[in-house]
Amino acid sequence: MRIRLPELRSRGRRFVLGLSWGFLASGAVAIATSLGYFSGYQGKALDLYFWAQGRTRAPEIVLVAIDDVAFQRLNERQPLPREYLAGVIRGLRKSGARLIGLDVDLRRPTNPADDRALLAAIRGAPGDPAGPVVVARTLTVASDSAGEIRYRPMPLYEPLLEMASGFAEVPKDDDGFFRRIPLVVPLGDGQVLPSLSLRLLARLGGLDPAAFARTLAGPEPVDLSLPEWDEPRGTLRQASPLRFFRDDDWKINYIGPAGSLLTIGSDAVYQLGISDQEVARENPLRDRIVLVGATFAESRDAFPTPRGIMYGVEIHANILHTLLTRSQIQPVAWGASLLLQFILCLALSALFALLRPNRALIISLGTAALAAVGISAWPAAHGAYWFDLLTPILAIRLAASLHDAVERRRIRRSFHQYIGREVADRVYQDDPALAGQRRTVSILFTDLRDFTTMSETMAADQVAQQLNEYFPMMVEAVQRHRGIINDFIGDAVMAVYGAPLDNPDHALDAVRTARAMQVGLALLNTGWQTRGLHTLKMGIGIHTGLVFAGNVGSPNRMKYTVVGDAVNVAARVEGLNKELHTTLLITTDTYAAVKDYVEVKDCGELTVKGRHQAVKVYEVLALAEAATGSQRRRRWGRDGGSSWAVFRFWHRRAPTPPPKPESLSPS
């Protein structure tokens, strides 16, 4: 297909414009993202990452759930009986659990005997009050004298257990979801408290509690040597580096939806703890990290996560797995995201150069989404890196919107003299409407009677003044009835209805325009007469027929117009007004389309110049008042109200107000 030079220039202009807007949008989105404006949307995009990731195995962690069955057997007592918890701990230790995390409220003392029983079950070797058990602590938020946020841990019923404790609170995002965890929180006076999972990892690695506390409170970054789970080999490496900053938030890498971890009911473990029976060496708890927590409904310990609703103990298990495997979700460097945006902007610019904006936008958004998902799959599979899917799509959407707004404004600016805003918007959305095609339209010609002769006796400024009031009224009447001004020929106006876009009522719209023009000229004449200016008379001819409609012209100057015999007929019919002493004539083709809406006088068949076949014409006397209710409403909307609309238009421009339109009739 041969591309003309003007079209090539237009496409080049759209490409450069799209590229400019794309780069601008990419920079703006990158800055807004770095400032946190899209953090909520990024969280949802991160959720898609988890759902696409599938399920991961975590055989090193087992959950012991204090479920509804256990809670009912305990007569629904809260806080949970310490004697029961002691039996669970003894059962886990008998089963050979390597490490135990107790995510249960231990703040208030209860029955002294039960409290001592739990402490005895937890106690390890002399000097080690907690043995292989780490307990959860609750935090309250406070501020120091400088206004900095500080945390205060609630005391446990047994102070000795505080040396083997970690905070259990997980911060939630603005949408209420749990996606991240700080490894430590500041307590003030240079002290910090580790999370439950980090304390578990330190206990697993055999770190001395005092030395561990000094390292956490020491200079940054914090460097620790802690165990790491080798997933390919299924083994635990005792010493592996872990580096972080105290204000870091780790994104939790959830292994799967709720229920992905091996879960055992607490009653079964409790029975092991209170019996003298030996536990088989090969059992699902041996050499495992076990987290104990409440899952009964009354605990109200269930929260929304990217993988669905989970109980708090299962969230902590996912945090522990993230730390143990060093699989925290890390965003890819922002430069990589920006590079992808620039690449997509090139593609977007090419699409905008070749396609209409709506199609280009749909294709570019789809391409951006597929590219972002495809590109993010590789880093996700090689190191839990998260490629931000949102920013490229936002950048493309913003660039497309900017390009759309500029192009729409250009179209309106180019066409506003000829077509109304509504038609301009529809042309903008429907580019094929400007291509050459044959269609049936209605053509309106209007001409001022003897104006050329009259203008020879008038001052030039007077001619300009009257025409500058007359033509805007004509244009407004045409545009208000969905027509386009096709041409100005001296004092004549040619308007087209039914092109470039389909309009099944094009004939009726043309007649309504003619009536609005008649009323408008009557108003103008009244005003001109009061100002001592010449009054004008007009003739209008309307014909409906088949034409070629489209962009025509030279390579350097194109114009949308209509060509065909119907154009000649409309012009000649307008000229018959002078011969018949009428002001508004329509042909039989137009009359066939509007006969239910107009009152006419049959003027017979007449021969027009340039046509051998006679043309039957009618004089339009009025719009019919016998229309149905819906037709009457349409007539008021487009014609009945046109007199008042033209009056208001004229009143804005004329220095002397005319009389009310009710007292006027078309001339």
Report pLDDT digits (tens) over 254-306.
888 898 999 999 999 999 999 988 888 899 999 999 999 999 999 989 999 98
Bridge partners, residue 331, by sequence: 386
Backbone angles phi and psi of 20, in degrees to 5: -65, -50
Three-state DSSP state, 586: strand
Q: Please answer whether residues 55 and 260 qualify as being in contact, where contact means their C-beta atoms are separated by less than 8 angstroms.
A: yes
pLDDT tens per residue, range 151-191: 778 888 888 788 889 999 988 888 889 988 999 998 877 78
- How do strand 289-294 and strand 99-103 relate by DSSP bridges? parallel
The pTM assigned to this predicted structure is 0.58
449-465 b/e (C-beta count within 10 Å ≥ 16 → b): eebeeebeeeeeeebee
What token pair was written down for 382?
Answer: 């090689």
* Tokens found for residue 660: 């009310």
- Of the given ranges (212-226, 403-417, 435-449), which has the lowest mean pLDDT? 403-417
CB 340 within 8 A of CB 371: yes
CB-based burial label for 624 (10 Å; 0-12, 13-18, 19+): middle
Burial class (CB in 10 A: 0-12, 13-18, 19+), 640: middle
Please choose, from the candidates 626, 448, 583, the residue with its C-alpha nearest in 3D space to the C-alpha of residue 528.
448
- Alpha carbon 658 to chain centroid distance? 51
* Paired strand residues for 141: 151
Label residue 399 by pLDDT band (50, 70, 90). Answer: confident
Count of CB atoms situated within 10 Å of the CB of 138: 15
Question: What's the Cα-to-Cα distance from 6 to each of 500, 554, 576, 604, rounded to whole Å?
Answer: 20, 10, 41, 48
Q: What DSSP line would sit under 72-132, residue for residue?
A: HHTTT-SSPPHHHHHHHHHHHHHTT-SEEEEES---S---HHHHHHHHHHH--STT-SSTT
What does pLDDT average to over the chain?
79
CA 376 – CA 387 distance, rounded (Å): 5
pLDDT, position 210: 87
Q: Does the pLDDT of residue 579 top 80, yes or no? A: yes
* Whole-angstrom distance, CA of residue 16 vs CA of residue 27: 17
Percent of the chain predicted with pLDDT > 70 = 70
Phi, psi of 169, rounded to the nearest 5 degrees: -70, 135
Whether 546 has a pLDDT exceeding 90, the answer reads yes
Q: How far is CA 254 from the centre of its chain?
A: 27
| For residue 79, cis peptide bond before it (omega within 30 degrees of 0) | yes
pLDDT digits 0-9 by tens, 229-266 = 887 777 788 788 999 998 888 888 888 889 899 999 99
Residue 419 confidence (pLDDT):
58
Cis peptide before 221, with omega less than 30 degrees from 0? yes
Contact 527, 658 (CB under 8 A): yes
Higher per-residue pLDDT: 402 or 168: 168
Question: Cα 623 vs. chain centroid, distance in angstroms?
Answer: 48
CB atoms within 10 A of CB 140: 10
Work out whether the CA dihedral 293, 298, 299, 305 comes out positive or negative: positive
* pLDDT, tens only, 180-239: 899 999 887 778 999 999 999 999 998 988 899 899 988 889 999 999 988 777 778 878
Q: What is the pLDDT of residue 519?
A: 93
CB-based contacts of 15-20 (< 8 A; 24+ apart in sequence): 15/349, 15/350, 15/352, 15/353, 16/349, 17/349, 17/352, 17/403, 17/406, 17/407, 18/345, 18/348, 18/349, 18/350, 18/351, 18/352, 18/353, 18/399, 18/403, 19/345, 19/346, 19/349
Q: What is the pLDDT of residues 311-339, one digit of tens each?
A: 999 999 999 999 998 888 776 666 666 67
* Model pLDDT, residue 424: 59
pLDDT at 462 over 60: yes
Tokens encoding 536: 């004008």
Q: Is the pLDDT of residue 617 over 90?
A: yes
- Domain-wise residue ranges, the chain: 5-37+331-412, 61-328, 432-663
Fold of the domain built from segment(s) 432-663: Alpha-Beta Plaits (3.30.70)
Beta strands (DSSP E) in 256-370 are 262-265, 289-294, 302-305, 308-311, 330-331
Distance in angstroms between the alpha carbons of the first and the last residue of the chain:
54
For the stretch 629-659, pLDDT in tens is 434 434 334 444 444 444 444 444 444 443 4
